[in-house]
Amino acid sequence: MSFRFDLLKTDGAARLGRLHTAHGPVETPVFMAVGTQASVKGLTPEQLEAAGVQMVLGNTYHLALRPGSELIAEQGGLHRFMGWPRPILTDSGGYQVFSLAANLKIDDRAAVFRSHIDGALLELSPESAVRIQEELGADIAMCLDECPAHGATADKLREAVRRTIHWAERCRAAHHRPDQALFAIVQGGTDVDLRRRCAHALAALDFPGYALGGFSVGETPHQMLAALEPSAACLPEHKPRYLMGVGRPEDILLAVARGIDMFDCVLPTRNGRNAMAFTAQGPLKLRNACHKRDSAPLESDCACPTCRQFSRAYLHHLFLADEMLGPTLLSLHNVAFYSRLLSAIRQAIAAGTFADFCAVSLARMGGEI
């Protein structure tokens, strides 16, 4: 089926919507679990579905290097390869090229770099980024963009925006897979005028959806929010809006209040592997001694297997004993927490009470325990 986005209701700038994809619908706002290398670390597809995950994200750069998009295509595509039956989004690899690759050389033709794995010389162009994602078979693919570092000069920001628009035009011309939607990425750092210029140029190309990239790269939360609101307002109203790589619970709440529909971040599983659990009252550090004899679950109202079966004391023990079950159980809880948070956000928007819900949720999320 062809991709479609339905905007169902607004509550202020907050939006309730539904993505229709070849692998089923997705209710928005949505948080996508990050499965960089065709795996959400430590969790099975069955666990993800039970935790309420609607959609996962894969990474073009990493999958192109290992095992290769051709091999994944031979195996029936990314959904079959990783055993995930629901929608998948793949990013273009642009951020990883600029953050991980060595000896990067970039011009309008392509980015040429050395692999962070074995040092092999590689090239990523708009056309090859699209080809790889078509071979992977994701429901949503992303245009190749240039993601400038935080603190880049005004000249570098302008050049990155110009190249991002140019590359988006080439990605659009190269994309031919009818069951896959191609989203464009707005760049511009924290420069609101550049963000607007980039958004207007990309909107004129009429992509099925739009992302805001280049955030959460070192700027303060205040700087991000100041640029986010006017940037989102420039995007087409009836197209999905995706804020890339931003995922603290409080940032999600504030971004939804500014009209964002889609999110992804490694925090749920990364923090889970490092003994931190997300809760509605703020994060818990399970290595802390205060949990040693605590028989309570992480959250009394959470229905995830971790909270149903295990105490904080047991989780504390697992991390001190360096048992691999600890990271799995905390990752599972964190993914379930994010699913519950986004479900509650959707319910609040539907009821027209999102502003109150947001204010109460932010007030509860205090300091770390």
Task: Name the DSSP class of 149.
Answer: P
Which tokens hold the place of 342?
């986004």
Phi-psi region of 9 (alpha: psi -120 to 50; beta: other; left: phi over 0): beta
Give the full edge-to-edge strand order of the sheet including 121-124: 102-106, 111-114, 121-124
CA distance 242 to 283: 25
164 HSE (CA, 13 A, CB side): 34
| Active-site entry in 11, 91, 251, 261 | 91
Phi-psi region of 211 (alpha: psi -120 to 50; beta: other; left: phi over 0): beta
Check whether the bond before 67 is cis (ω within 30° of 0): yes
CA distance 220 to 174: 36
Check if 322 is active-site.
no
Cβ atoms of 205 and 169 within 8 Å: the answer is yes
Check if 139 is active-site.
no
For the chain, first and last CA: distance in Å?
47
Angle at 99 between CA 97 and CA 100, to 5 degrees: 70
Strand 14-21 to 24-28 pairing = antiparallel
CA distance 275 to 254: 26
| CB atoms near residue 120 (< 10 Å) | 9
Q: 67 vs 74, 119, 136, 260, CA distance in Å?
A: 11, 16, 11, 33
| Active-site entry in 139, 251, 261, 264 | 264
Angle at 26 between CA 338 and CA 214, to 5 degrees: 65
Q: 307 vs 83, 172, 271, 300, 338, CA distance in Å?
A: 26, 46, 17, 7, 14
Q: Look at residues 82, 55, 48, 84 and name the one whose alpha carbon lies nearest to residue 67.
A: 82
Catalytically active residues, by annotation = 91, 264
